Protein backbone atom coordinates (compact mmCIF):
# COMPACT_ATOMS: atom_id res chain seq x y z
CA UNK A 1 0.00 0.00 0.00
CA UNK A 2 1.40 3.33 -0.98
CA UNK A 3 2.20 5.71 1.82
CA UNK A 4 -0.38 8.29 0.73
CA UNK A 5 -3.30 5.85 0.97
CA UNK A 6 -5.78 6.92 3.65
CA UNK A 7 -6.04 4.86 6.84
CA UNK A 8 -4.37 1.62 5.68
CA UNK A 9 -4.93 0.20 9.17
CA UNK A 10 -8.67 0.02 8.41
CA UNK A 11 -7.94 -2.21 5.43
CA UNK A 12 -5.52 -4.29 7.47
CA UNK A 13 -8.13 -4.86 10.16
CA UNK A 14 -10.70 -5.85 7.56
CA UNK A 15 -8.29 -8.27 5.85
CA UNK A 16 -7.33 -9.83 9.19
CA UNK A 17 -10.94 -10.32 10.22
CA UNK A 18 -11.92 -11.92 6.93
CA UNK A 19 -8.75 -14.01 6.90
CA UNK A 20 -9.90 -15.63 10.13
CA UNK A 21 -13.27 -16.34 8.53
CA UNK A 22 -11.62 -17.80 5.43
CA UNK A 23 -9.94 -20.48 7.53
CA UNK A 24 -13.45 -21.91 8.07
CA UNK A 25 -13.27 -23.27 4.53
CA UNK A 26 -10.44 -25.64 5.48
CA UNK A 27 -11.69 -26.91 8.83
CA UNK A 28 -13.96 -29.67 7.48
CA UNK A 29 -11.08 -31.10 5.46
CA UNK A 30 -9.01 -31.53 8.60
CA UNK A 31 -11.87 -32.99 10.57
CA UNK A 32 -13.05 -35.50 7.99
CA UNK A 33 -9.91 -36.77 6.31
CA UNK A 34 -10.32 -40.45 5.36
CA UNK A 35 -13.97 -40.72 6.36
CA UNK A 36 -15.72 -41.20 3.02
CA UNK A 37 -19.26 -41.54 4.35
CA UNK A 38 -18.97 -38.40 6.45
CA UNK A 39 -17.47 -36.48 3.55
CA UNK A 40 -20.23 -37.54 1.19
CA UNK A 41 -22.93 -36.50 3.65
CA UNK A 42 -21.12 -33.28 4.51
CA UNK A 43 -20.59 -32.24 0.91
CA UNK A 44 -24.07 -33.02 -0.33
CA UNK A 45 -26.33 -32.13 2.58
CA UNK A 46 -24.28 -29.43 4.30
CA UNK A 47 -22.58 -27.80 1.35
CA UNK A 48 -24.55 -24.57 1.63
CA UNK A 49 -23.30 -24.18 5.19
CA UNK A 50 -19.74 -24.79 3.95
CA UNK A 51 -19.92 -22.54 0.90
CA UNK A 52 -21.93 -19.72 2.49
CA UNK A 53 -20.71 -19.35 6.12
CA UNK A 54 -22.69 -16.16 6.62
CA UNK A 55 -22.36 -16.48 10.40
CA UNK A 56 -18.58 -16.06 10.17
CA UNK A 57 -16.94 -14.15 11.74
CA UNK A 58 -19.08 -14.39 14.90
CA UNK A 59 -22.08 -12.02 14.98
CA UNK A 60 -21.78 -11.30 11.25
CA UNK A 61 -25.56 -11.66 10.88
CA UNK A 62 -26.29 -8.93 13.42
CA UNK A 63 -23.21 -6.71 13.77
CA UNK A 64 -22.87 -4.77 10.51
CA UNK A 65 -20.52 -1.77 10.72
CA UNK A 66 -21.92 1.34 9.04
CA UNK A 67 -19.99 3.69 6.76
CA UNK A 68 -20.24 6.41 9.42
CA UNK A 69 -17.99 4.28 11.64
CA UNK A 70 -15.26 4.76 9.03
CA UNK A 71 -15.67 8.50 8.65
CA UNK A 72 -18.11 8.39 5.72
CA UNK A 73 -21.12 10.66 6.13
CA UNK A 74 -22.77 10.80 2.70
CA UNK A 75 -24.45 7.42 2.42
CA UNK A 76 -27.82 5.70 2.55
CA UNK A 77 -28.68 2.49 4.36
CA UNK A 78 -31.25 0.68 2.23
CA UNK A 79 -33.49 -2.38 2.24
CA UNK A 80 -34.39 -3.49 -1.26
CA UNK A 81 -37.23 -5.96 -1.92
CA UNK A 82 -36.76 -8.85 -4.32
CA UNK A 83 -39.47 -10.28 -6.54
CA UNK A 84 -39.42 -13.51 -4.50
CA UNK A 85 -40.13 -11.83 -1.19
CA UNK A 86 -36.73 -11.17 0.40
CA UNK A 87 -35.37 -7.87 1.68
CA UNK A 88 -31.75 -7.09 0.89
CA UNK A 89 -29.61 -4.80 3.01
CA UNK A 90 -27.41 -2.39 1.07
CA UNK A 91 -25.28 0.74 1.38
CA UNK A 92 -25.23 3.42 -1.29
CA UNK A 93 -22.13 5.53 -0.63
CA UNK A 94 -21.65 8.76 -2.55
CA UNK A 95 -18.23 9.79 -3.72
CA UNK A 96 -16.86 13.35 -3.80
CA UNK A 97 -19.57 15.54 -5.29
CA UNK A 98 -17.29 17.45 -7.64
CA UNK A 99 -15.35 14.45 -8.94
CA UNK A 100 -15.48 13.82 -12.68
CA UNK A 101 -16.51 10.29 -11.71
CA UNK A 102 -19.53 11.50 -9.76
CA UNK A 103 -21.68 9.67 -12.32
CA UNK A 104 -19.77 6.40 -12.02
CA UNK A 105 -21.03 3.80 -9.55
CA UNK A 106 -19.25 0.61 -8.55
CA UNK A 107 -21.60 -2.27 -7.74
CA UNK A 108 -19.68 -4.35 -5.21
CA UNK A 109 -20.13 -8.04 -4.37
CA UNK A 110 -18.20 -9.51 -1.43
CA UNK A 111 -16.82 -12.96 -0.66
CA UNK A 112 -18.52 -15.87 1.06
CA UNK A 113 -18.02 -14.77 4.69
CA UNK A 114 -18.66 -11.59 6.62
CA UNK A 115 -20.97 -8.79 5.56
CA UNK A 116 -20.96 -5.51 3.67
CA UNK A 117 -19.89 -3.58 6.75
CA UNK A 118 -16.62 -5.49 6.85
CA UNK A 119 -15.83 -4.19 3.34
CA UNK A 120 -16.53 -0.50 3.93
CA UNK A 121 -12.76 0.26 4.18
CA UNK A 122 -12.44 -1.07 0.63
CA UNK A 123 -15.31 1.12 -0.55
CA UNK A 124 -13.69 4.08 1.18
CA UNK A 125 -10.52 3.59 -0.84
CA UNK A 126 -12.54 3.50 -4.06
CA UNK A 127 -14.21 6.77 -3.14
CA UNK A 128 -10.90 8.39 -2.31
CA UNK A 129 -8.74 7.16 -5.20
CA UNK A 130 -11.30 6.79 -7.99
CA UNK A 131 -13.79 9.47 -6.95
CA UNK A 132 -16.76 7.22 -7.74
CA UNK A 133 -19.86 6.11 -5.85
CA UNK A 134 -20.13 2.61 -4.38
CA UNK A 135 -23.21 0.42 -4.00
CA UNK A 136 -22.66 -2.48 -1.60
CA UNK A 137 -25.23 -5.29 -1.74
CA UNK A 138 -25.81 -7.83 1.01
CA UNK A 139 -26.77 -11.27 -0.29
CA UNK A 140 -29.85 -13.00 1.08
CA UNK A 141 -28.98 -14.83 4.29
CA UNK A 142 -26.05 -12.50 5.01
CA UNK A 143 -25.84 -9.57 7.39
CA UNK A 144 -29.23 -7.94 7.84
CA UNK A 145 -30.75 -9.40 4.66
CA UNK A 146 -33.54 -11.94 4.97
CA UNK A 147 -33.61 -15.43 3.50
CA UNK A 148 -31.11 -18.24 3.03
CA UNK A 149 -28.14 -18.10 0.65
CA UNK A 150 -27.90 -20.26 -2.44
CA UNK A 151 -26.61 -19.94 -6.00
CA UNK A 152 -29.91 -19.16 -7.71
CA UNK A 153 -31.03 -16.79 -4.96
CA UNK A 154 -27.77 -14.84 -4.88
CA UNK A 155 -27.87 -14.46 -8.67
CA UNK A 156 -31.39 -13.10 -8.29
CA UNK A 157 -30.11 -10.67 -5.66
CA UNK A 158 -27.38 -9.42 -7.98
CA UNK A 159 -29.88 -8.77 -10.76
CA UNK A 160 -32.13 -6.99 -8.26
CA UNK A 161 -29.26 -4.67 -7.32
CA UNK A 162 -28.43 -3.83 -10.93
CA UNK A 163 -32.08 -3.20 -11.75
CA UNK A 164 -32.36 -0.97 -8.68
CA UNK A 165 -29.44 1.19 -9.81
CA UNK A 166 -30.83 1.46 -13.32
CA UNK A 167 -34.28 2.44 -12.04
CA UNK A 168 -33.15 4.79 -9.26
CA UNK A 169 -33.40 8.42 -10.37
CA UNK A 170 -30.00 9.38 -8.97
CA UNK A 171 -28.11 6.54 -10.67
CA UNK A 172 -30.17 5.84 -13.79
CA UNK A 173 -27.65 7.67 -15.98
CA UNK A 174 -24.53 6.43 -14.18
CA UNK A 175 -21.86 4.31 -15.77
CA UNK A 176 -21.79 1.05 -13.83
CA UNK A 177 -18.70 -0.96 -12.91
CA UNK A 178 -19.22 -4.40 -11.34
CA UNK A 179 -16.58 -5.48 -8.80
CA UNK A 180 -16.48 -8.93 -7.21
CA UNK A 181 -14.14 -10.57 -4.74
CA UNK A 182 -13.89 -14.37 -4.44
CA UNK A 183 -17.49 -15.69 -4.46
CA UNK A 184 -18.47 -12.17 -5.46
CA UNK A 185 -16.41 -12.64 -8.59
CA UNK A 186 -18.57 -15.59 -9.61
CA UNK A 187 -21.66 -13.51 -8.87
CA UNK A 188 -20.25 -10.69 -10.99
CA UNK A 189 -19.36 -12.88 -13.95
CA UNK A 190 -22.89 -14.30 -14.10
CA UNK A 191 -24.48 -10.86 -13.77
CA UNK A 192 -22.32 -9.14 -16.38
CA UNK A 193 -22.69 -11.99 -18.88
CA UNK A 194 -26.45 -11.39 -18.80
CA UNK A 195 -26.35 -7.56 -18.73
CA UNK A 196 -23.54 -6.46 -21.03
CA UNK A 197 -25.46 -3.48 -22.39
CA UNK A 198 -25.76 -1.97 -18.93
CA UNK A 199 -22.21 -2.39 -17.56
CA UNK A 200 -19.05 -0.62 -18.74
CA UNK A 201 -16.45 -2.61 -16.78
CA UNK A 202 -15.85 -5.68 -14.61
CA UNK A 203 -13.24 -6.07 -11.85
CA UNK A 204 -12.50 -9.56 -10.53
CA UNK A 205 -10.34 -10.41 -7.54
CA UNK A 206 -9.27 -13.92 -6.46
CA UNK A 207 -12.25 -15.78 -7.86
CA UNK A 208 -12.49 -19.39 -9.03
CA UNK A 209 -13.17 -21.38 -12.19
CA UNK A 210 -16.13 -23.18 -10.61
CA UNK A 211 -17.05 -24.45 -7.17
CA UNK A 212 -16.55 -28.03 -8.31
CA UNK A 213 -13.03 -27.24 -9.50
CA UNK A 214 -12.29 -25.44 -6.23
CA UNK A 215 -13.24 -28.38 -3.99
CA UNK A 216 -9.92 -30.26 -4.40
CA UNK A 217 -8.14 -27.23 -2.96
CA UNK A 218 -10.39 -26.37 -0.01
CA UNK A 219 -11.62 -29.90 0.78
CA UNK A 220 -8.88 -32.26 -0.52
CA UNK A 221 -10.35 -35.55 0.77
CA UNK A 222 -13.55 -34.79 -1.17
CA UNK A 223 -11.85 -34.20 -4.50
CA UNK A 224 -13.46 -37.33 -5.98
CA UNK A 225 -16.89 -36.24 -4.79
CA UNK A 226 -16.99 -32.87 -6.51
CA UNK A 227 -19.87 -33.93 -8.77
CA UNK A 228 -22.05 -33.97 -5.66
CA UNK A 229 -21.66 -30.20 -5.46
CA UNK A 230 -24.96 -28.65 -6.55
CA UNK A 231 -23.77 -25.06 -5.94
CA UNK A 232 -21.80 -25.00 -9.17
CA UNK A 233 -20.98 -21.35 -10.02
CA UNK A 234 -19.56 -22.31 -13.46
CA UNK A 235 -17.55 -19.15 -14.15
CA UNK A 236 -15.23 -20.98 -16.53
CA UNK A 237 -18.11 -21.68 -18.91
CA UNK A 238 -19.79 -18.30 -18.34
CA UNK A 239 -16.92 -15.85 -18.75
CA UNK A 240 -16.37 -16.56 -22.49
CA UNK A 241 -19.84 -15.10 -23.09
CA UNK A 242 -18.68 -11.68 -21.88
CA UNK A 243 -17.61 -10.18 -25.20
CA UNK A 244 -18.54 -6.50 -24.84
CA UNK A 245 -17.29 -5.54 -21.37
CA UNK A 246 -13.61 -4.91 -20.44
CA UNK A 247 -12.31 -6.95 -17.49
CA UNK A 248 -9.59 -6.31 -14.91
CA UNK A 249 -8.27 -9.50 -13.25
CA UNK A 250 -6.62 -8.94 -9.83
CA UNK A 251 -4.78 -12.07 -8.68
CA UNK A 252 -3.07 -12.60 -5.32
CA UNK A 253 -0.24 -14.99 -6.11
CA UNK A 254 -0.10 -16.24 -2.50
CA UNK A 255 -3.81 -17.07 -2.38
CA UNK A 256 -4.22 -19.99 0.02
CA UNK A 257 -7.93 -20.60 -0.74
CA UNK A 258 -8.32 -20.15 -4.50
CA UNK A 259 -5.22 -21.36 -6.39
CA UNK A 260 -3.89 -18.47 -8.51
CA UNK A 261 -4.07 -20.62 -11.63
CA UNK A 262 -7.87 -20.26 -11.45
CA UNK A 263 -7.57 -16.54 -12.11
CA UNK A 264 -5.00 -17.07 -14.84
CA UNK A 265 -7.26 -19.60 -16.56
CA UNK A 266 -10.27 -17.27 -16.35
CA UNK A 267 -8.14 -14.59 -17.99
CA UNK A 268 -7.20 -17.02 -20.77
CA UNK A 269 -10.83 -18.03 -21.29
CA UNK A 270 -12.04 -14.44 -21.39
CA UNK A 271 -13.20 -13.06 -24.74
CA UNK A 272 -13.49 -9.51 -23.40
CA UNK A 273 -12.65 -6.68 -25.83
CA UNK A 274 -10.01 -5.45 -23.40
CA UNK A 275 -8.64 -7.54 -20.55
CA UNK A 276 -5.90 -6.79 -18.04
CA UNK A 277 -4.18 -9.26 -15.70
CA UNK A 278 -2.76 -7.65 -12.56
CA UNK A 279 -0.61 -10.03 -10.46
CA UNK A 280 -0.28 -9.18 -6.77
CA UNK A 281 2.93 -11.02 -5.79
CA UNK A 282 2.44 -11.06 -2.01
CA UNK A 283 -1.34 -11.01 -1.86
CA UNK A 284 -3.20 -13.90 -0.27
CA UNK A 285 -6.94 -14.50 -0.45
CA UNK A 286 -7.96 -11.62 1.79
CA UNK A 287 -4.89 -9.38 1.94
CA UNK A 288 -4.60 -8.61 -1.77
CA UNK A 289 -6.25 -5.24 -1.14
CA UNK A 290 -3.14 -4.29 0.86
CA UNK A 291 -0.80 -4.78 -2.09
CA UNK A 292 0.91 -1.77 -3.68
CA UNK A 293 -0.98 -0.59 -6.72
CA UNK A 294 -4.20 -2.46 -5.96
CA UNK A 295 -6.55 0.51 -5.83
CA UNK A 296 -4.50 2.54 -8.29
CA UNK A 297 -5.00 -0.26 -10.83
CA UNK A 298 -8.74 -0.16 -10.27
CA UNK A 299 -8.79 3.63 -10.59
CA UNK A 300 -6.85 3.44 -13.86
CA UNK A 301 -9.21 0.76 -15.14
CA UNK A 302 -12.22 2.90 -14.29
CA UNK A 303 -10.53 5.74 -16.16
CA UNK A 304 -10.05 3.59 -19.22
CA UNK A 305 -13.64 2.36 -19.38
CA UNK A 306 -15.37 5.63 -18.49
CA UNK A 307 -12.89 8.12 -20.02
CA UNK A 308 -13.66 10.41 -17.12
CA UNK A 309 -10.68 9.94 -14.84
CA UNK A 310 -9.62 13.33 -13.40
CA UNK A 311 -6.26 14.79 -14.34
CA UNK A 312 -5.71 15.59 -10.65
CA UNK A 313 -6.40 13.22 -7.74
CA UNK A 314 -9.94 13.29 -6.32
CA UNK A 315 -10.43 15.13 -3.06
CA UNK A 316 -9.62 13.16 0.08
CA UNK A 317 -12.46 12.04 2.31
**What CATH number was assigned to the domain covering residues 54-177?**
3.40.50.1820
Q: Tens digit of pLDDT for each residue in 246-278?
A: 999 999 999 999 999 999 999 999 999 999 999
Strand stretches in 56-192, DSSP E: 75-81, 87-93, 104-109, 133-137, 175-181
The region, left, alpha or beta by phi > 0 then psi within -120 to 50, assigned to residue 34 is left
Q: How far apart are CA 115 and CA 144, in angstroms?
A: 9
How close are the terminal C-alpha atoms of the chain, in Å?
A: 17
Q: How far apart are CA 33 and CA 88, in angstroms?
A: 37
Q: How far is CA 151 from CA 54, 154, 158, in A?
A: 14, 5, 11
Q: How far is CA 257 from CA 16, 118, 186, 226, 254, in A?
A: 15, 19, 15, 16, 9
Q: According to CATH, where is 3.40.50.1820 located in the chain?
A: 54-177
Residue positions annotated with a catalytic role:
182, 255, 285
Q: How far apart are CA 138 and CA 145, in angstroms?
A: 6
Buried/exposed code over 18-29 (b: 16+ C-beta within 10 A; e: otherwise): bbebbebbeebb
Predicted model pTM: 0.89
Angle, helices 120-130 vs 8-22, to 10°: value is 140
Angle, helices 120-130 vs 294-306, to 10°: value is 60
Q: Tens digit of pLDDT for each residue in 61-88?
A: 999 999 999 999 999 999 999 999 999 9
Q: Tens digit of pLDDT for each residue in 82-127?
A: 999 999 999 999 999 899 999 999 999 999 999 999 999 999 999 9
Amino acid sequence: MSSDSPNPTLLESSASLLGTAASWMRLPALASTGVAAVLTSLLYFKQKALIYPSHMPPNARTDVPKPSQFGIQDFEELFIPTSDGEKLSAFYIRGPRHSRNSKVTVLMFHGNAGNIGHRVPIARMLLSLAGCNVFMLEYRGYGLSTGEPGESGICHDAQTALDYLRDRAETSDHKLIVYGQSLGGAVSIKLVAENQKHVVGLVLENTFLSMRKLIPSVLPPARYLSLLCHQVWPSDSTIPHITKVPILFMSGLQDEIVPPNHMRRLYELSQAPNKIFKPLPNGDHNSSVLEDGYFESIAEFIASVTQEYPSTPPEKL
